[in-house]
A and B are shown apart, each in its own frame.
Chain A
Amino acid sequence: MIMTQKRKTTLIILSFLLLLAAGAVYYGYREYYRTNTSLERSTPNFTMAADELINSFSSDEKGANAKFLDRIIQVNGTIKSVDKDEKGYYTLVISNPTSMSSVRCSMDSLEMQKASLVKTNQTLAVKGICTGYNADEMGLGADVILNRCIIVEN
């Protein structure tokens, strides 16, 4: 086959388009199967004391939702309790000892080992994705809930 200039150009363009298509398919495949990865290496969008986060929601739930929902929040405070449920999932409850409200940190499945070592009254920082706020409707105290939480190492 004689490689004319026109044929050469067409071939180059076709190859380029093929490469582009392959890239798009690869990207699509990656995105479709993307799982929720660990937040260990993620930078938090907000860093604050647990009390501050709770107050933001209790004073203006709508505004706080707009600001914090789906964001990575790093909270620091005192551990009120380490809740382990019947399936072995851990939730670290961070709260001011005198308050009924708390930030409930549902731990990432890979963080269970570290969570089991946490003690009551310990102060630490935890980061997770904010899923929302439960106002105190049933007399159980108000909570801000964070999911996929990771303990922040200093």
Chain B
Amino acid sequence: MNKFLLFLFAISLSSLLHAQDKFFTKTGKVYFDATAPKSPEKITAVNKSATCVLDTKTGNMQFSLLMKGFEFERALMQEHFNENYAESTKFPKSEFKGNIAENANVNYTKDGVYVVKVKGQLTLHGETKEVETSGTVSVKGGSISLAATFTINLEEYKVNVPTVVGDKVSKTAKITVDCALEPLKK
């Protein structure tokens, strides 16, 4: 009888652990900064509704956000971003599909901060390019936080920055990702 109970306990425990494989959020923060050096004003925006799913078993991660979700201080800047640069009506979404390299080195069951390398494909303005960046995975009290900052070349994504605005808008954009993930309950 005892062995049977132990067996049942082991099964239920393992199913519980399996349920903690995937973590997600729909309120991930992604910051965009294309301020040119010496620019008189900041060209920055924040998207507070990024979706992120992380499979802790494989290190596979996916991000998705709506371009029109980027909020700028100045309404005119937001309109120009959507209409002239990102062409958000044509390309409403941006996605990232990648992996945490050497995911096995991250202990998702123990609180801690792990510096990791992430590699994947970023799709922006209809173009998909390889992106590699370092980031941190913070495990605390059953939640996982992901943070990373990387720079992209806007030209690579066919986003045209006219020379006339070159003193304000940089040809490169700094992307900062900041997400707090919770377990996905099946």
Cβ of A87 < 8 Å from any Cβ of B? Answer: yes
* A34 with B74, Cβ < 8 A, contacts A132-B68, A132-B93, A138-B53 known: yes
Q: Establish whether residues B64 and A134, one from each chain, have CB atoms under 8 Å apart when the complex forms.
A: yes
Which of A46-54, A114-122, A140-148 forms part of the interface with chain B?
A: A140-148
Assess the B74–A145 pair: CB atoms within 8 A.
no
- Beta-carbon contact of A35 and B51 below 8 Å: no
B136 within 8 A of A: no
Q: Judge whether B68 and A106 touch: CB under 8 Å.
A: no
**Which residues of B have CB within 8 Å of A36?**
71-72, 75, 78
Q: Do B48 and A106 touch (CB < 8 A)? A: yes
CA distance A143 to B145 in the complex (A): 23
Does chain A have a CB within 8 A of B69?
A: yes
**Is B171 an interface position by the 8 A CB rule?**
no
Contacts of B67 in A (CB 8 A): 132
The answer to whether B26 touches A132 (Cβ under 8 A) is no
Q: Which of B27, B29, B64: most chain A Cβ within 10 A?
A: B27
Task: Give A16 Cβ to nearest chain B Cβ, in Å.
Answer: 28
| CB closest chain-B residue, reference A32 | B76
Q: Does A153 lie at the interface of the complex (its beta carbon under 8 Å from any beta carbon of B)?
A: no
Chain B min CB distance to A66 (Å): 8
In the complex where A87-B29, A143-B26 touch, is A132 in contact with B74 (Cβ < 8 A)?
no
Q: What residues of B have a CB within 8 angstroms of the CB of A70 in the complex?
A: 68
| Cβ contact within 8 Å between B76 and A140 | no
Give B72 Cβ to nearest chain A Cβ, in Å.
8
Shortest CB–CB separation between residue B158 and chain A, in angstroms?
Answer: 21
- Which of chain A's residues have a CB closer than 8 A to the CB of B69? 106, 131-132, 145, 147
In Å, the complex CA distance between A85 and B182 comes to 11
Bound together, the chains give a CA A33 to CA B26 distance in angstroms of 31
Please give me the 5 A-B residue pairs with the lowest Cβ-Cβ distance, nearest first: A131-B68, A132-B66, A85-B27, A131-B69, A86-B180
Residues on B close to A: CB < 8 A? 24-27, 29, 48-49, 51, 53, 62, 64, 66-69, 71-76, 78, 89, 92-93, 145, 180, 184
